[in-house]
A and B are shown apart, each in its own frame.
Chain A
Amino acid sequence: MSFSNNLKENVIRSAGVDPKKCMKCGKCTATCPNGNEMEYKPHQFVYMVEKGDIEPLMNTDSIYKCLSCFACVERCPRGVEPAKFIEAVRVAKIRKQGENHLKADMIPDLLDEDLPQQAIVTAFRKYSK
């Protein structure tokens, strides 16, 4: 499908890393502190992006489960750095109209007095456009 292919290319370009370098060792999923909370695990992101299977990834909440902790980036033996694909898919998703994961009107309910600014800033940065 040309649309899907186009999407795949965009995601790969945005991630800036090469899914073909993956040797499917699974160290990313092994090392992920949030791996068990994810419907699609980090290694599946790499493989599915390589296959061009982007739609299911865009529609899973796994893209909001990534903690951006760089553990898989740090430990990937092949320089594939799976978090970059998760980020790329998330960016592709929230760039679409009306797909913001976090909307401004949701914020007040989530606030508490000690919450540092950066929590809100980063939540917006990561989850909305």
Chain B
Amino acid sequence: MQRIGVFVCHCGTNIAGTVDVKAVAEAMKYENGVVFSTDYQYMCSEAGQNIIKDAIKEHKLTGIVVCSCSPRMHEATFRKAAQSVGLNPYMVEIANIREQCSWIHKDMATGTEKAIILARTAVAKVHLNAPLTSGETPVVKRALVIGGGIAGIQTALDIADAGFPVDIVEKLPTIGGKMSQIDKTFPTLDCAACILTPKMVDAAQNENIKIYSYSEVSGVKGFVGNFEVTIKRKARFVDETKCTGCGLCTEKCPQKRVPNEFNLGMDQRRAIYIPFAQAVPKIATIDADYCTMLKTGKCGVCSKVCTAGAIDYTQKDEFITEKYGAIVVATGFNPIKLDKYDEYAYSQSKDVITSLEFERLTNAAGPTAGKLLRPSDGKHPHKIVFVQCVGSRDTRECGKSYCSKICCMYTAKHAMLTREKYPDTEVYVFYIDVRTPGKNFDEFYRRAVEEYGVHYIKGMVGKVIPEGDKLIVRASDLISNEQLTIDADLVVLAAAIEPDKTARPLATMLTASMDTNDFFTEAHPKLRPVESPTAGIFLSGACQGPKDIPETVAQASAAAAKVIGLLVKDKMKNNACVAHSDENMCNGCSNCAKVCAYNAISYVDKEFRMPDRTTRVRRVAVVNDAVCQGCGACTVTCPSGAMDLKGFSNKQIMAEVDAICK
């Protein structure tokens, strides 16, 4: 039997104005189990709290009800007070007689009557309260960042700076991601490499950061604070510890005709290669698909020229397992394939290119050493047409229904840079809408129009016809209601961007949720934008939605802050009000796990002794306290009632119902 104390607050006249607080306190004295009841001016004041503390000690209270303002206001205050004198904080219940009573009723009799019922309801609940303790789980103080683009690098640097070890897993031989392929960045036009490569070097040199390049995550177990991740280190046939990155092998390799993916296939590299000069780690990698030695066993040139003896043709994929407290997903994006958009003749003419290819064509380290030349004949283009929204805002199966967000700005950048470097080139941009919500973004776009004389035309390109060495562009001009024909030299398509293909299988491993476009979903779209609903999984960069570089970096740092907030704890306090399954009643039917948004429920086979002394193995649900958020969805779906929620148990809620209806 509980010994319950009731404390009725006047809240000045806020409550006492329409509720006869004395009458409430008096009425409570006659409730079952109530051994003490009083009222006071301000319960939340220090003096008020002392009344509570003293009463708990003096009357050996096992539970208390505070009739006051909303629990959203002072529940924590009163719980702390109770705890300070040894009463479990979950033995405190609040009857909300201010927001839900005195403030909404004008009549003293009505207010008092209702306040008594609310107090009685809280007393009825406290009768069934049980002391709860938040479980604790130790936190592994190491973070994993999946993806080594600017998002992953920034997140890793911030976490490392806070003093926590962090590993980056990057599937390519180098970190750097898409940003390393970009020439200049909007709206400031600073060189991408100049701002990115120092960060790459920082990451490599930071003693808290370990980079697993040419590696992939192949398995994830565990939960927040305690993930166990298997990383597959793909064989690169070069001993990372020995390779000095001198690059001699990449010059001597006789296999010269490998499409260079860093330049999007616009030039060629060798079968052994370092993606680009500033690659991190600067280690050669052998492309097994092209290496003559690996394919036929005859060659071995790279091995002969390597003075460090780093070449190892027998290298195999290697799997390592590491423990992490938090995982950040930073898998980034790719432009979509354009094979379903051949009205723009992408596969029919070399001079129809994507915007990312355009970046490489204007980059000093690109295939043309930074000169804007047509891929087909190496001539300088004099008329360039940019097409926006290729595949974006397209509701058909081949398209993406969303806006890719970055295309308006990078196209303005391309147009502006072209006009700046080659004033003799006419530049046309066809747009549906120009979307420039960002700091100095619209000014940037207007400058392209006003200062650089880029022709922005409200309309769309309908067909590109390669004819001779020209590209006949048929387009619409919706302002003047006409159809235009432009004989262009180069057409640049702003292809929609989509999440990297590795994201979906990764999401499955992480049990993180995704939307239909394969972008990771946030725990809350407004208030928790860098966290996945799965505890301990954080989101950084374009894997969560299209983003430009400033937004990506901002989100990357935000994700890092969340990770640091988690890793800084030695132990994690779990939510005390978690679900719990009574294994004696559990059917093992799995319905609870199906509705759990957090994957907090798993199943084990357990042996039970039967009344006839035989044993029977049954499958039963087990709730992971560290992961459960306490929503209660599972409790209702459980047919046998085995699943219940601590702090909001079936019996507690029914006691409240009974008290109200009494």
Contact = CB atoms under 8 A, between A and B. Distances in A.
Given A43-B476, A77-B393, A79-B396, A36 B432 contact: no
A20 interface: no
A72 B463 CA distance: 11
B478 interface: yes
B462 A77 contact: no
Nearest to A76: B396
A77 to B, nearest CB: 4
A1 to B, nearest CB: 25
Contacts of A35: 476, 483
Interface string B389-428: 1000111100100000000000000000000000000000
B484 to A, nearest CB: 8
A27, A28, A35, A36 pick with most chain B CB within 10 angstroms: A27
Interface residues of B, number: 22
A75 B343 contact: yes
Contacts of A21: 395
Interface string A24-42: 1111111110011000010
Interface string B514-530: 00000000000000000
A14 interface: no
A97 to B, nearest CB: 32
B483 A24 contact: no
Interface stretch (B74-82, B89-97, B370-378, B453-461): B453-461
B188 interface: no
B547 interface: no
B296 interface: no
Given A25-B432, A75-B343, A77-B395, A30 B460 contact: yes
Interface size class of A (residues with CB under 8 A): 20 to 34
B476 A29 contact: yes
A23 interface: yes
B395 A30 contact: no
Contacts of A36: 482-483
Contacts of A95: none
A30 B475 contact: yes
Given A27-B461, A31-B463, 5 more contacts: A24-B432, A25-B393, A26-B460, A41-B481, A78-B395
A-B CB proximity, top 10 nearest: A31-B462, A30-B462, A26-B476, A77-B394, A30-B476, A35-B483, A29-B476, A27-B460, A26-B459, A25-B432
Interface of B: 343, 389, 393-396, 399, 432, 458-463, 474-478, 481-483
